[in-house]
Amino acid sequence: MALGPRLDLRQSQSLVMTPQLQQAIKLLALSNLELETVVAEAVADNPLLEIGEPPAAEPGEADPVELRRTHLESSPVDQLIGEGRADEDRPLDIDGAALDRDRDTGDGFGGDGAAAFELDFARETAGCDGPGIDERGGAGATLAEHLHAQVGAAADDAREAAIARWLIDQLDEAGYLEAPLRDAAETLGVALGEVEDALRLVQSLDPTGVGARSLSECLALQAIEADRFDPCMKRLIENLDLVAKGAFAQLKRMCGVDDEDFADMLAELRSYDPRPGLRFGAAAPEAVTPDVLIRGRADGGWDIALNQATLPRLVVNRSYYLELKRTCGDKQSRGWLGERLADANWLVKALDQRQKTILKVAAEIVTQQDGFFRRGVSQLKPLTLRAVAEAIAMHESTVSRVTSNKYLNCDRGTFELKYFFTSGVASADGAGAVSAEAVKAQIRALIETEDPKDILSDDALVELLRAKGFELARRTVAKYREAIGLGSSVQRRRQKTLAGVR
């Protein structure tokens, strides 16, 4: 075979991600609030773009907001959005690798005994004598502000007050000090003894327990304040791991007390606050703003609309474009202006297609999960991204991006769109599958109504769920129980025993 140059013609296919396609993919995954930032940046970069108000409807024309709404009947519908529109107005179907799915990690128990005991404390005191929601508002004083206001009167001199204020700024939101005192002394350039004195000053402030370096120290400070820190209480606090395990017989022997005194000590210990700093305001939690609004109609159907209050509106200023075009005398300027116009038109169209795609996916979710919106979580059905993608003739990755960082508001509350995609559990009669969320709701209901004298084991839960039509293995019940933050039968028995001691 002779060696030499030659020409070959070959055909191949490849997916080229143009900048416009990358931008459309990015827009799909953004929430309405995140979209505002992108739009603001685009307006700052492109002189032809500006934030506009929706055009006023001419007489006889539909309201602009109504054009963004889908009327979904209780029965399946053929066309949810844009019926009769041209193919070029169809929502963007962006093919590509699907994004990572959200993983349900659950809330299982773990850690050392002190951490488990703290978790028991938090659950037992939930809703009891704690600060109400009105006390946690953003207008309230923070823990640091509350402590700083007390330092001046409590400190012996300005030097001690300065060190104490520095320590206060190192406290976490629960009121604990995690920074080692030796490191603090080196940072401030003072003696270790001065830092220890300042810490004692911080620990003397209200609320009692702040400035502690561990759970046991926090509880000990509160016991000292209550004048209950005798040798028996000291041993009890030093062995919180045994309290978490429920080794009451061993603790009674270690403390040298009888049943009545031990019950009184447990009741006293339970009255202490393991996280005293949480009584005060922290950073105000950000409220979730829904992207999609769903409301029932009188005829039994549903109104589905995008949240116009948070949806940025872009318009292309064509009069300004014509004005600039008249002043562009060279080819380079006209080319730049043409690029800005093309970018502006593409972004406006991409935003419009994004809205249509979100509505189409949301409408299909409501169709698939109609029972949930009418009767609650017990009627939530198993649903996958593939099922929705096939129903609306889109790629699975497109549905994944649309349901990321998006929230839906209905009469039952606000839910992330991914909430409606759940795995299935086989029913006992073989008639079909039920949602894992529905099973979790049943487990929670059974545990909340169990007799404190007859705590349900996981095996007992399996039998009760089977009687209700759910076929689950014991390990599956345990996994779901831990995922919703409920302890084992041993842990629940201990918690209810402590609750009955009060």
Q: What is the pLDDT of residues 231-273, one digit of tens each?
A: 888 888 988 888 888 888 888 888 888 888 888 888 888 888 8
Comparing 73-87, 215-229, 339-353, 375-389, which segment has the lowest mean pLDDT? 73-87
Q: How far apart are CA 369 and CA 421, in angstroms?
A: 10
Give the pLDDT confidence score for residue 282 in this predicted structure. Answer: 53
Considering only residues 454 and 431, tell me which one the structure prediction assigns the higher pLDDT: 454
Q: Tokens for 497?
A: 């025993």
Percent of the chain as helix, strand, coil, to the nearest 5: 50, 10, 40
Considering only residues 342 and 152, tell me which one the structure prediction assigns the higher pLDDT: 342
* Backbone CA torsion sign across 267, 489, 259, 220: negative
Give the pLDDT confidence score for residue 218 in this predicted structure. Answer: 92
Q: How far apart are CA 145 and CA 384, in angstroms?
A: 48
Q: How far apart are CA 130 and CA 379, in angstroms?
A: 34
Comparing 337-341, 461-465, 491-495, which segment has the lowest mean pLDDT? 491-495
Q: Calculate what percentage of the chain has a pLDDT beyond 90.
A: 5
The three state secondary structure string of 128-173 is CCCCCHHHHCCCCCEHHHHHHHHHHHHCCCHHHHHHHHHHHHCECC
Q: How far apart are CA 351 and CA 39, in angstroms?
A: 10
Comparing 371-380, 428-437, 460-469, which segment has the lowest mean pLDDT? 428-437
Give the pLDDT confidence score for residue 137 in this predicted structure. Answer: 43
Q: How far apart are CA 216 and CA 206, in angstroms?
A: 18
Considering only residues 453 and 170, tell me which one the structure prediction assigns the higher pLDDT: 170
pLDDT at 174 over 70: yes
Inter-axis angle of helices 331-368 and 32-45, nearest 10: 170
Q: Tokens for 105?
A: 């990690």
Mean pLDDT of the chain: 76
Work out the widest C-alpha separation in the chain, in whole angstroms.
104
Q: Tokens for 175?
A: 């009121």
The residue to which tokens 């759910």 are assigned: 470
Q: How far apart are CA 317 and CA 19, in angstroms?
A: 23
Domain ranges of the chain: 19-81+90-100+288-419, 142-279, 423-501
pTM above 0.85, yes or no: no
Band of pLDDT at residue 110, cut at 50, 70 and 90? very low
Q: Which of 368, 421, 408 lies closest to 391, judged by CA?
A: 368
Comparing 30-44, 51-65, 334-348, 393-407, which segment has the lowest mean pLDDT? 51-65
Catalogue the E-assigned strands of 273-378.
292-296, 302-306, 314-316
Give the pLDDT confidence score for residue 65 in this predicted structure. Answer: 36
Residue 95 to residues 28, 384, 393, 400: CA-CA distances in angstroms? 12, 17, 12, 11
pLDDT at 216 over 50: yes
Give the pLDDT confidence score for residue 363 in this predicted structure. Answer: 92
Give the pLDDT confidence score for residue 319 in this predicted structure. Answer: 87
| Per-residue pLDDT reduced to its tens digit, 44-88 | 888 888 887 654 444 333 333 333 344 444 333 333 233 333 333
Residue 335, class by beta-carbon neighbours within 10 Å (0-12 exposed, 13-18 middle, 19+ buried)? Answer: exposed
Give the pLDDT confidence score for residue 327 in this predicted structure. Answer: 84
Using alpha carbons only, give the angle 470, 407, 350 rounded to the nearest 5 degrees: 125
The DSSP symbol for 424 reads E
How many residues does this entry show for the chain?
502
pLDDT at 119 over 70: no
Residue 85 to residues 80, 293, 352, 360: CA-CA distances in angstroms? 12, 24, 14, 14
Give the pLDDT confidence score for residue 108 in this predicted structure. Answer: 34
Are the C-beta atoms of residues 391 and 96 closer than 8 Å to each other?
no
Q: Which of 194, 202, 156 lies closest to 177, judged by CA?
A: 202
pLDDT at 20 over 80: no
Helix H or strand E segment including 71: strand 69-72
Average pLDDT over residues 473-500: 78
Considering only residues 406 and 109, tell me which one the structure prediction assigns the higher pLDDT: 406
pLDDT at 127 over 60: no
| Per-residue pLDDT reduced to its tens digit, 284-300 | 556 778 889 999 888 88
Residue 477, class by beta-carbon neighbours within 10 Å (0-12 exposed, 13-18 middle, 19+ buried)? Answer: buried
Q: Which of 482, 425, 426 lies closest to 458, judged by CA?
A: 482
Give the pLDDT confidence score for residue 364 in this predicted structure. Answer: 92
State which amino acid sits at residue 272: Y
Considering only residues 221 and 287, tell me which one the structure prediction assigns the higher pLDDT: 221
Residue 228 to residues 216, 219, 241, 283: CA-CA distances in angstroms? 14, 11, 20, 34
Considering only residues 498 and 158, tell me which one the structure prediction assigns the higher pLDDT: 158
Q: Calculate what percentage of the chain has a pLDDT beyond 70.
A: 76
pLDDT at 16 over 50: yes
Q: Which of 410, 457, 438 lies closest to 305, judged by CA?
A: 410
Considering only residues 133 and 244, tell me which one the structure prediction assigns the higher pLDDT: 244
Give the pLDDT confidence score for residue 121 in this predicted structure. Answer: 43
Give the pLDDT confidence score for residue 271 in this predicted structure. Answer: 86
Considering only residues 7 and 115, tell me which one the structure prediction assigns the higher pLDDT: 7
Are the C-beta atoms of residues 25 and 94 closer than 8 Å to each other?
yes
pLDDT at 94 over 60: no
Give the pLDDT confidence score for residue 498 in this predicted structure. Answer: 60
The DSSP symbol for 141 reads P
Q: Tokens for 259?
A: 């049943």
Band of pLDDT at residue 12, cut at 50, 70 and 90? confident
Q: How far apart are CA 472 and CA 426, in angstroms?
A: 8
Average pLDDT over residues 217-221: 91
Residue 416 to residues 47, 92, 162, 395: CA-CA distances in angstroms? 36, 22, 46, 20
CATH label, 423-501, candidates 1.10.10.60, 1.10.10.10, 1.25.40.10, 3.40.50.880: 1.10.10.60
Displacement of CA 124 from its chain's centroid (Å): 23
